Structures are given as structure tokens and as C-alpha cells.
Structure 1
Amino acid sequence: MSNAKQTRRVTPGSRETLPDALFVVDDTETIVYANASAQAITGTTPEELRRNSFWRCVPRLVSTPLYQAVQKAKQTREPTEVEYVSPVTNTWLHVSLSPTDEGLALLFQENLEPPHFQDALSRNEQMYRDLLESFSDGVTIVTPDGLVLDINQRPLADAHLRREQVVGTPLTDLPAWSSDPAVQEHLRAAIARAARGETVRFEAKIHPRLDLSLAILMTITAHRDASQQVEYLICAGRDITERKHAEDELRTLVDALPQLVWIARPDGYVTYHNQRLIDYMAMTLEQAEGDGWLASVHPDDRQRVRAAWQTSIQTGVPYEVELRLQDGTSGAYRWFLVRGMPQRNAQGTILHWVGTCTDIDDQKRAEQRIKESEENWRVLAETVPQLVWTTRPDGRVDYCNQRYCDLTQADFEQLRDYRWRQFLHPEDAERALTLRQQSLATGELFENEQRLRDGQTGRYRWFLARALPVRDEAGQIDKWFGTCTDIDDQKRMEEALRESQERVNILMNSSIIGIFLAEEEQIVDVNDTYLRMTGYTREDLQAGNINWMRMTPPKYLARTQQARQELVVQQYGTPYEKEYVCKDGSLLPVVVGVVALRRDPLHTIGFVLDNSARKELEQRKDDFISMASHELRNPLAALKMQIQLVRKRLERQSHHEAATALSRVEGPVKQLERLIGELLDVSKIQAGRLEYLQETVDLDALLHEVADTMQQLSTTHTIVVRGAAPRVLVGDKDRLGQVFTNLLSNAIKYSPGAETVEMDLSASEETVTVRVHDHGLGIPREQRDKIFERFYRVAGPKQKAIPGLGMGLYIVAEIVKHHGGTLTVDSAVGKGSTFTVTLPCKRDA
């Protein structure tokens, strides 16, 4: 080292006579002394410097190497030196750092290095500076306390600030962050977390200046020294403003896409998970309800997640947490970003929470793969969320970061020189290489959108590739620094939007489904099919003459209002049948399904299907059943009478064998008679003409009579009657007998391998309850509600082998309903079924 660079011994008496700038700072890096020469290098008087933070008062001297040297000297208590170029003045500085009783003495000397050494260091500084400026993101280097050490031009240009106005200032005090106290506090907390070694990512809306607002994605990563202590923080802010605008515009379409969605009560009790989330966790809705979903959260995350959730519930602030959820099928954990928003009424009261889980596993794993490096530009290259690469002046790749290797699943030797081209999409190769050659020839910025192959999946992802030249002092290109930013999600979102628009156009042009858009009750747009179905015209639409409530007949108003309420509560309504009053006054049977695009005011999209053909077919079927039943009833009655007369005549003539053979015919005739009776009952129910008597019924006696009769007919099962129902009802005794005869008959019929059927009776002051239980085949859960529909039978090979037309339970349900009662079923496949009838006790006729 030359004499000029020798560390000078500084004594208190010689401080003021030194020709170089001298600062003495205490352990908090507050200036306690500055000599007169400090004014020349800083432009500030010593009096103005004292008792202020060194980093805030001397922005012209601040740099990352200087900060590292100060921290090292404070830790080791040993003298040290550092050389660097001032980013503000572009002059070389040599700084000697010596521990003192007061703290630390910093002696600054300018222009001390010989030219050849300056040139060598200058290249490294230029490489660092060019890499910093090559990133499309805003990059800021700060101390663990948040003071700005270095910053690239992107955020400075946005804020119309110069570097010396920013360096040494707390990042949280810059206009972009201080204009919003909540955002400022969020950044302050993120810096504190990163200072503890945590990688922090968050989104924020900032205001670099009054006329500019930006949405950014901030990533803060800690850089550690050789002793693994956090030395400084790297803050990378990506502009996601356009993405946010696109998200807002696509919100309605995105809501229709499959997401992991959950809903919770105001107290935090989770009441709903959508099927996609249930499938991922491999839980039932009941298992996931309440706090059950926490069982899928990684044990190391549960306490933190629960605490964050409770904080949001208590304060009403939006919920956001990163956690690991276990895939219930594979057992593997994946990282998710979980967000929850409170839904409030007009008074501000929280009605419920709606949340989503976003898979960020790839992103989290990528963050964990970031490696540290002692060289500042290499640290940035391995830290930023981009593919980073450098080339020689002729374009040969001589470095790429680990993220590049991870994407391609290749080592550096497979990527160096021109070998990286094998991962370029064939359709993009010609354009990319042409632009690259133009940049190499002209020295201009290289920028291109291109696809690179993911070596693991074989799928291509879109990247924005950018490269800047690094020049030597003679202006010759010494190296190219490049980055590739993943824009695959953005490109796919654009493609999804285009495809969605095409699908919407195809749907709107449907010749089968009528489609309408409505604001509250007023229809504002329709497709041609809707107009054709209802008889209205485009002129009627423009005149505001199409209103879906005015098109609804009075008997369907209640169901239509119910559907509207469903839209307000859950954003979609169950499809239902109704009739439309067409323009000419005719009625059109339709099936309607509606989805809410917006709730306040209510904006909906509806899908309408002409139901007239099916309604006409059902009417013809009902007419046929009614006619056939009546036409068969009289001949069957005559046949039954003739059989009985012939059998009695044969018995009087002692032709017992013939009489016995004839008596066997009576069984099938009785079954046919019952079938025709049920068909007639179904026909009458459909027409609303099923007749009922009003008489006093001793239900207990009726139930025992039915049980005795069924026992005589059944040779395979024992009917066990338990309890009593000593109550009197007002109703039709025969119809009530028909109910319990049918239930007992079904219980025997559908339990072929059992020996008993139980009928339990119980009564209260207001009601009588009868339970008919069998030990048979059982009914699948998804078919339980359908068994009371007309002509419906449980689908299954064992059930199909048992004769029947599916009318009995339909008739039973209608009779019980007419008597003011209820009919429910509880069943398990392979274990049997229990039908429960509850009837009110005696009422005024």
C-alpha cells in the first residue's frame, strides 16, 4: 500500500489540522465530532453535523461497502479500510476506520488510488451498478434499521427524486410510503421481520408523488455476513399496477373460476368450504367445519395462523397469512396465501367472512433456494425473483443464476455460451436471436417476450427478457447483464380473457338457451333466443318494456322472490320452474337459473330454457294414466267377482282342488287391483281431486289393525310393535291405513334377508310419532330426497330386482301432508331404513 493510503494516527489535538474529512460517531452511529475538512466534502458545517445520524447527514458518502466496513469495525474493534466510488460525486474515496473511546473514527481521503487499480475497482463497481439498473423492479438496499444505503433509478424516477435526497433516509419516510400511515406501518413491520432473517413479501399501494399511485409487490431479503449476522436488507419492489387493474376488470370472470374458497361466521366459525378445498384436504364438510380445517395446517404454522385469525376477528381487519396445507391424498404440504375479507351490511356490521387460499408453493420454494454471496452484484442476482445471466460482448453466456438452472433443470455447463438456446421455444427462436444480434451490433437495450422450457414439466413459460451493456471507460462493451422476468401468469390471464370472451359470445349466440342481463328487476340486454321465446323485440328492450317481475304470473311470484333472495345471500340461485307471460299474453313454461354479478345494486345474468315440450309430455302421461286406470278398473272388478262366484260354486260341488287352484288367481288379481288403485290415486293427486273423509280416528287401534293384517299376509317377517299411541285424530281412516300398510309392505319387501320389521309408537300432547324400521338394503344419501317423487325408484341391482313402479311413497307423502303431518327417512346402505311419520292430534274439522 502506498504512503498516501497508510492509516493515519489521529490524536485529539491533530483533528482540526487534518487536511482530510474526519468524523467520529458513537455506538449508535450518531456524529459526535466532525472537523472543518468535513464541510468541504459534505457541503455541511460541522455544527450542523453533530448530534445527527451519520447516514442521514452525509448522503454523498453513503454506500453499501462503507456500511459493511462500519459494522465490521464495530464488531471486531479493529482498524479497517474500504475503497469505493461515491455514487453521487463519482469520486474515489479511501476510508480509514479506527475504534476510539468515543466510538469510531472515519477518515475520508479522495483520489488516492493509482489509475490502474481504480480501473480494476471501477469495473466491479460498474458491474454492480449496471446490474442494479438492469432490473425492471425498483431495488433499494437498506440497513436492518431501514436506512437507505443504495437505490436504483426506477423508484427515484417515479418519485422525481435524486439519490442524495434519499440515501441515509429511513425508507419508511420516503413520500411513496409515508403518504399512507397504514402502508408505512406495514413496511416498518416488514423491515423489522426481515432484520430478524425472515424473507418478507407483501403487496402495497404507494404514492411516489401526488399524481402517481402504484401497486407494488415488495420482497425484502436479508443479506448475512460471514458470522451469519444480518448485515443489510435488499428490498425489491415489482410494479403490479397493470396486473391489479386487470384483476379488477376480470373480477367477475375470476369469481366464476374454480378457487379454494371458505366462508365463516362473524365469530370466526368456518361454515363452508367449496368442493375444491374439500377435495384438496380430503375431508368431509363436517370434518372441516369450525376449527376442523386446522388439522390440515402444518403443526409449525398452527399457533401463528390461529393468532392471526383471532386478531382479524377481533379487529375486523382483513385476514392474510401464509401457511402450509396438507394435501389429504399425498400427505405433502404446500404453501398457500390465505386471505379473508369481512362482508358488512349498510351499518358496517360484519355479516360473514369470505376467504380464498392461493397456492404460492412454487414461489416459496424458489425463495428458499436463493443463495448468499459475498459479492454484492451476485447477491442481487441470486436474490431477486428473476432469471439473471451475463454474456461476453459476443453474446456467449458466462454466468446464470441458480433460478435459471432450476427452471431448465440444467447445470451451468449445459447453459453456457450458446447452449441456452435449446430451452427457447422454436416459434420464438428466430425473433429472439434476431433482436439479440441487433442489440449486440448496436449496443442498444435488448427486450423481448419469449418462452423458455421448464425442464421438469416440459411446459414452456413466458418471460420478459431484458439486457443492458456494461461499458469500459473507453465506451467499449465489456459485458451484457440480463434478466428474465416470469410473465406467464399475465400472458395466460390475457389468453383466458380472450377465450372467456369467445365463450361468452358463443353462449350469447345460443339458439337453445335464452340469456338476459338485468339490473334489479329491469332487463337491460338479451340474446335473440330470449326475444324469440317471449315475443318481445329489440325496440321493446330499448324502451325498457321487459321486466322479469311483470312477466311473472301471480302464482309464481313467491318462488321468484325466493330465488331473488338466494341471489342476495349466496350470489347464485337454484334453477327452478315457472311460467313467463309473453308479450302476446300467452304463458310459456320455462326453467330459469340466475347468477348475481353484483349484489348492491343487484346485477344478474339469467339462463332460460323453454320447458313447454316437457310439460306437454307430462300432461299426456298423466292423461294416459288416468284414462288407463279408469278403463281397467271396471273389467278388473267384473273379473274378480266372476272368480269369486266360480270358486264358491266349485266348493259347493266339492271340487276342492279346482277351487284351490282358482283361489290362487285371486292373489295376482288383488295385486293388479292395488296397482290400478295407486295409479288412480296418483292421477287424482296430480289433478288435485283425491278425496278425503273427515272422521275421528283411533290411531292406536288402526295401527295394531294394520300390523295384524300385514302379519297375516307376511310369512317371512315378524312385525314387532312397540309402545302405544293412545290419541284420537281427525282424518280419513282408510287413507291413514293406506300410509302405514304401504310403509310396512315396503319394509318387508326391501329387507329380504331380515327376519323382523319394527313399528315404534309414541305420543305427546300435540303429536303422534310412528317409526317403521327395517334391516334391509338401505337408501344412498344422494337419493333419499328423490324417493318421494312420482315414479322414482332407487337405482341399484338389488332394488331393481324387487317389483314396483315408485308410486307408493309418493302417495304416502301426499296423504301425510294433507293431514298436516311430516314424513322423513333416515337410512344407511346395507343397514336398513327408518321412516318417521309425525301427525298432529285431534284438530277442529
Structure 2
Amino acid sequence: MIRKNDASLQLAEMLARHEQLGYLLLDSDLRIFNINSEAEYIFGIAKNEVLGCVITDLFPSLKYSEHITCIKEALNGNSRELRDLTLGPFSVFSSELFRFSYLPFKENIDENTNVLMLVKNLPKTAEVFNPGGKKFEFIMDEIDVGIWEVDMKGYTLYLNKSMCSMLNLSSVNDIKGKAYTEFFTPRSIESMKRQHRKGVKDVASVFEGELISGNGKILNVMIHGTPLFDDSGKVKGYIGTFTDITLKIKYQRELKNSEERFRMLFEKSQRANLISKDYKIILVNDALLKKFGYSSADELIGKSPTVLLALSSVETINERIRKINNKEEVENTFELFFSDKNGNEFPAEVEITYFELADGKSTHISIKDITDQKLAEEEIKKSEAKFRSLFNTPMIGIAFTDSSYRIVEANSKFLDIIKYTKEQFEEKEIYWKDLTPEEHIWRDDIAVQEFLKNGFINPYEKEYLRRDGSRVPVFVASAILGGINNTGVVFVIDASELKKSKEEANKIAEELSKFLYMASHDLKGPLASVIGLTMVAKNEVKDAKAIEYFSLIEKCTKKLDSSLVNLMKIIKIKSNVFEFVEIDFRKLVPEVLDTLIYQQAYDLPILELNVELKAPFFSEEELLVSIFQNLFENSIKYKSLLRKLLIKVTVRDINDAIEIIVEDNGRGINSKIINKIFDMFYRGDYDSKGSGLGLYIVQNGIEKFNGSISVRNIESGGAEFHIILPRELTRS
């Protein structure tokens, strides 16, 4: 078959047609793959009978003639010509003389060389074959291949229209006075010089070059060049055909770059990859060798990819091949079991893609070990079974919510809490806001922010609106389901019974508090009288022994009075009776310390106060007075005898709360008892004169406001108390 895009063949056909030339096309094995009608006539053969035949089998005498030498020379890239010969070697008996030309040609540089055999019946005066002559100019201008003829100095003698178009010239006149080298890149000029050296030896050539057109654009061209000879056989110039292969080169480069990128991804991929061609492995990456336990790619190259399969998957892959052969549709991604070199089987996800490389169609097989995924799926199934049993529990209400806060599924207990039947629940879409009374919306908004930020909601108390309009108290908690953003599960406990129990407990606590308050109040009056009478008696009685007894009575009654005061503070804290006012720490702290020093006749300590609050702080003033009073009293009791007592108080903002730090330079707290100092009635040592309620009152008051208190010893001496009090709770 004639290669229609080969410039030399197009030109040969035209010349043969208009010069009455016969031609045969021979491949590298000397097989005839094309012949024109003129050659059929000259040699007395039919085209349909000789195509594919070896010419020396068709004409055995050629083996012993100089024709075979010329054919072999042409296969080596050298043009040869025989003149004034008969057709004897071709088994044709005629007295006419013929000229035989043997020209090498090929479409691409990397293709095998073929032979164009031209035959011309010579008249008495032989004509010189001159493709640049005027009689062929019209023909040459009509072909889409560029033709360029130059003399030995490199100046242009002829350009056809296609060549002018490539050079962006209007006619050959635009190039007069310019050497052809001005239109080629330096690299191409070097290539042409090498080809010219071949031309001196009468060798035709095929090579690629880079042509610079008149507008500066560079074109990639395929050049078929050959020397031109004068009557004496001397080279007088060169002629060549030019085929624009710019797009072809571009595609080749893109293909090469694509192949390089693919190879890099292929080799660096963490997945096991192989490429096969004709069901044989031709390339594997390091990840595959490592996964399957092979030390070298040579152990797998040339083998079928099925050597990597476990026996249990052989039938699966055979069925896939059967479907492909029957042109049935198959998935490109599927699962199989594989076996490594030691026989250890594992499940894997397989992805197969088909693609074209420079050397033909190939198959890319990517293998991903999914052992962990399968184990996780099994665990998920077990977890789902456990959760399903939890979901069906009659103890806890469970509901699933989507990203729009719609309840998408609920168990029987949840539906019972809100008084919906399964059918009623499925009738319409229900959102959490539909179940929430207006006064609880603010708390739900806080819970949603907590849900989005932390992935869960700590349990909190609220009410739900039931379908019949009644309300039910509940405890609610929630968490985001793993891997599903903004989608979660909500756990609900009916707090009705707990509410009843709590109300009963509060009632009992309230009655007990009233009793203790009344008892304390009833005792406080007589105690005050006893203290007063004792003080009067001490002033009137002169007996030393009596005065000592009255002093002991006064001391004991004052201690009992202090205990009653502390007990009343505890009762007040437990009863939630508070009055919130704005706290001025710069005023309150010094006043508490001054009062304490005045009442107890303590030495005056040094006070360092630092208050750094950006906004007002509201709290129960009496409670804060009690906190500072007990902490200061503790610092004074356990002061160091070696240095002046220093008390530092710092009040500052910390997130949505305030932090109070009370630090002294006293003796500190024994490490063995530091964890017990907040216990009720606990005293640090046997000599302590306190009731053991001071720090207990401090801790209870702070915890009542969801705050916290901690203590530590300072290395340089003394103790440091840290108190956190939330702002929001104290405001509310």
C-alpha cells in the first residue's frame, strides 16, 4: 500500500505519470508492495498477481545481475542508476534500451529503508531526468508538500507554492540573495551539513529539521533530500521535499512528557502497580515488590499477572476475561484476593486502566491492600449490632439528627417521651426546635455551638413539648457520628421521676435548713447573753479564780458563736438565697483585711492588690467577703516567724470567667494534708483554734457558682490559692 503522506512517493507518482515512467516499490525484504500500470506494461506482469512477491523469486536472473547490487545499495541509503540496459534480467526479450533508477526512501528516520525502482524507456537521445524543469512546475505547485532546490552556494533556484507558504513568503523572489541557512535553526544546519557530505557521495537522505518561517515561527519538518548532478556526473545542487510535522512533534513531546509523569507517579506510588502487555508483566514498582515479598522485578517480568492471584480469585478473573471477550461491560474497579511470595493471602481493591504507549496498547493494574478496611468493616458490623441493641433499649431515648437539625430516626423510648406513635413521627418532618419551649431556645443555641466546636454536647437539663401540648423534663446529650460532619446521635432521659425525687429531697433539705436556722437563731440569742454577762462578771468579780473561770466561759461561748455563724453561712449557700451586685474588688479586699485585723487584733500584714478586669463582675458580695476572710485568716494563722507577712491578691479575666489568686509568704501547707484542707470540720493541726469550717465554706460557695478552687505550695515559702468564677452564671 502506498503511504500517501510520504513526500517522495507523491512526487514519484506524478513524475511517473507525466514522464511515462514505470515504478515498483520494494520493502526491505524485496517484496513488491506497489506497482503502476506503466511498469505492468514494461515487464508484462499483472499487479494483482505480483503484490507481496519477492522480486528475485519473480525474476530469478536478477540475483546474478548488477540490478541486485543497486537494490542493496538503495537499501543502505545510496541512490543508484543504470542506463542503456535491456530487460533481459526481467525475462523480457526486447532490443529497446531502458534507464533504471533505484532510490531509497522512508517515512520516518526510525523506519526501515524501502526502495523506489523507476524504469524509463529511452529514446535514441536520452533525456536527463530533471524534476525542476518547467514542464513539471505546474504539477509541483499543486502538491501539498514543499519542494526546495538550491545551488552549491546555498542560494534558492526553485520553491513551489507549498514551500513558499511554509516560509511565509509570497513568491520565490522574496528569498533571492538569501542563503537557505538563514531559514534553519543552528541545530538543523549542522544536520544538513552532515547530509550534504552524504550527498557528495551520491547518497539520498531523510532527516528532521527546524524551519524558521518569515514571521519567526519555527516549524518541525521532515526533509527528503538528494543531490542533483550535471551531465558530467558532478553534484550541481540539492533538491528536497519538506513535510510539516510540527503537530506530530508536539504530540510526540506531549506523549513523552505524559509517559514520564506517569512513570514517576507509577514508581513513587504507595499502591502496588504493574503494567502488562499481551498478558505479560513488563513493569512493576517498588511498592508491589515490597507488598508481595519479591526482591527483584526480574522475578515477575515476562510472567502473567495471574501469578499474583490467590487460587480463590482465579475463577473470578477468568469470568472477567470471558465477559471482555464477549464484549460485555465490566467494572474497572473491583475486589480480589492476592497471594504474596510466601503464600499469605490478602484482600485488595484492583483498578484496571487501558492506555496507549509508544509501543502499543498496555494495561495498568493498581492493587491496594484493604485488609485493614475489611477488619474495620467487621468491627463496624459488630458495633452496629451492639448499637442496635442499645437503640432498642426501653431505658434511653435515642434519635438521629442530620445537618439541618431534623430528626431522621428515633427509637421507641424517644417517641414515648414526646408522645408520638411511629406512624405520627413518619407523617411529617420534625425538627428539634419543634420540641423546644421558647424559654429553652437560648440553651439549645449554646449546645449547638458546643456540638459544632467539640463534636459532642455535655448532658444538660431542659424540657420537651409533647404532641399533646404537655411538657416533660429531660436530660439531653449528643455526639457527632464518626466521619459524618454535623450529623449526630442524641440521647434523652425522661427526668420526670428524677424531678419528683429531687423535689422531695429539696423539700427535706429546705425543712432541715429551716430547723438548723431556727436552732442557730434560738441559740445565738442566749449565747450573746452569756458572753455579755461573762464580760460584766469579769469586771465586777475580784476573785482571781473566778475571773479565770469567767474567761474560759467567754472563750468557749465565742467559739460556739463563731461556729453558729459559719453554720448559718453554709445554710445560706445550700438554700440558693443570693443577691447579686457589682463587685468592687479594689474596695472590698482591703476592707475585709482591715476588719479581720481590727476584730482579732492581728499584726498588720502587707497587702499587694492587682485588679485587671475589662468588664464589671457581678456576684454575691457576702459570699466573696466570706471567701477572702477565710483565706486571709488562714494566711495570718500560718504566717512565718522569720519575715513580715505579705499577702498578694490578683483579680483578672480568663476566657469567660475571672481568676482570683491569693498568695502569701507564710509557712505553706503540709504536703500530707494539703488534699484534706477543704473537708468539713478538718483542722490542719491539733493546736488550731478554728472550727474546721472556714475552707469548707469557701469551697462550697465557689462550687455553687460552678467555679473551682485549688491550692499549691510555693517553692520560696507560702501557699497560693487559685479561684475561677464564671461570668455567665453570676450574671444570670
TM-score (norm 2): 0.46
Task: Tell me which structure has the larger Cα radius of gyration.
Answer: 2
TM-score (norm 1): 0.41
